[in-house]
Amino acid sequence: MLDIRHIVGAVLLFVKGLVKLIGECEDFSELEKGVHELCQDVCNQIFTWALEKIDTRLMNERDRSIWEVVGFRTKTAISTFGEFPLKRRLYRNKETGETKFFLDELLGWPERARVTPYLKELAIKLSTELSFGRAAEILSYLVPKLSTMTIWHITQEAGEILQREGEEKRAAVFEDGGAPGGKEVVGELHIEGDGVIVNLQREKEKRGEIKHIVTYEGKKQVSRNRFALQNKLVVSTLSEGQVAWEESYARAGGEWDLEQIKEIYIGGDGAKWIKEGLEYFPGAVYCLDPYHLNRHLTEALWYDEETFQKVGAAISHSNWQETQAILTEAIKKTRGNRKKRLIKLLHYLEENWTGIINSAGAKRLGTIEGQIQHNVARRMKRLGAKWTTTGGDRMARLLAAKANGELSNYASRWPVEHGKLKEIAQIKPVEKSVEKQKAGEIGEWLQATIPALKGPFADRPWIKHVLRELTRPEFAALIC
């Protein structure tokens, strides 16, 4: 695709820049940064040349009876090796008046896209860990001219795709009546849900709740005190509980054959929207999450170890009457805030007693707090962070995709025309007579353009082992 002049030009650009950097740098950090920027410049130049050569070939091979060249159009793009201008030809169909860029079509380049796919992927991954401003700042160390708004737009595009995909899967089951189609059958399935309160902006409500639902088959011990969830599936949204459960059911139903699973446990902290999950999963049993049960007991009885032990023993024996009697007696003996906490604990236990006595299932649960902190809270509850309902929902979905190991799938891939590109990239064989003729022409051009090949510094390593090697006849085959 590139002729010898391009290759020599790139080598000269790099060598000239490197020599200048070595001579002018004050420390190694400055040298390293300069070499990085120089490599970006060289890559930009070579990539631009290659695209221009492809565009020229597409022009020469077009059906001239149908397509005419209107002229050149230039767009500025940003990739992992910096900003570069993309100059390509615009064509018009003589019969229909349709216009298109053959090069854009070949590369799968969307009409208004400015940031390349791999850079988008990096931006999305960083924005799920850091604020948009911080993500832009870090990327700008490697790729200049990336603004906070550019990062924001990239994440919004990816989040919108996830929103649309989630709605399509939900609607296919709950509006169109389709079966989810899952094939996997396991002995039991565990589903845990919890909410994260985030601050909202430009909305009627000042705060919103992100619904986070984690479905998994079980836990596998990976070290002495660590367990990993098996075949984890995460759904996260700022929508209402009904939407969250419908999407979760559609996603889970696409993985597992839910009708064939004998035991399904749904765990939560007692919130009403979590218990609504029982309506979606046939035969499911609700269990109060052990973490939240222990937290409520500790908050109310931290000062009275004896009563704490008695209540714990009564709960472990599933004895509601004894639990109620112990707490009622403790309430009579206390005053003020401690009394209020005990009354609150008694009501909490009464409302969730069914979930508490399902202890066999509850012992297998207790993972949601760590999951929600790791997957959602540390990004979306950052100090000062505020979200719109749309933006918050999209970020929650991106974080769920990340937890599922699917985040890279939602950075645009720009599918190329593999067959045509492979044909263009092939090096055509050159007849020996033509090869010698072209090599001679190139040699003359090189000697005229680069006197150093015959000058007093011709024995210098970079001339002797780099530039002179480029004059070998084999390089004639690189000419398109």
Quick one: what percent of the chain has pLDDT higher than 70?
86
**Structure token pair of residue 292:** 């939240």
182 pLDDT exceeds 60?
yes
Among left, alpha and beta (phi > 0; psi -120 to 50; other), residue 340 is alpha
Q: How far apart are CA 252 and CA 190, in angstroms?
A: 11
Q: List the Cα angle 245/268/347 in 5-degree steps.
A: 125
One-letter amino acid of 394:
R
Say how far residue 110 (Cα) sits from the centre of its chain. Answer: 20
Residue listed under structure tokens 């992927």: 121
For the whole prediction, is pTM greater than 0.85?
A: no
Longest CA–CA span in the chain (Å) reads 108
Q: How far apart are CA 395 and CA 380, in angstroms?
A: 8
- Mean pLDDT across 317-346: 92
Q: How far apart are CA 153 and CA 171, in angstroms?
A: 27
Helix (H, G, I), strand (E, B) or coil at 420: helix
pLDDT (tens digit, 9 = 90+) per residue, 387-435? 999 999 999 999 999 999 999 888 777 888 888 888 887 755 545 444 4
81 pLDDT exceeds 90?
no
pLDDT (tens digit, 9 = 90+) per residue, 13-61? 888 889 899 999 899 999 999 999 999 988 888 889 889 999 999 999 9
Find, among 408, 405, 410, 409, the residue nearest to 231 by Cα: 405
Structure confidence at residue 328 (pLDDT): 93
**Structure token pair of residue 181:** 């189609």
476 pLDDT exceeds 50?
no
Q: List the Cα angle 378/381/387 in 5-degree steps.
A: 130
- Mean pLDDT across 311-337: 91
53 in Cβ contact with 2 (< 8 Å): yes
Class of residue 432 by CB neighbours under 10 A (exposed 0-12, middle 13-18, buried 19+): exposed
**Structure token pair of residue 455:** 């000058």
Find, among 183, 109, 196, 131, the residue nearest to 396 by Cα: 196
74 pLDDT exceeds 70?
yes
**Structure token pair of residue 410:** 């939602």
Provide the pLDDT confidence category of residue 475 given band limits of 50, 70 and 90.
very low
pLDDT (tens digit, 9 = 90+) per residue, 86-142? 899 999 999 999 999 999 999 999 888 899 999 999 999 999 999 999 999 999 988
Residue listed under structure tokens 């094939």: 183
pLDDT (tens digit, 9 = 90+) per residue, 264-315? 999 988 899 999 999 999 889 998 888 888 889 999 999 889 999 999 999 9
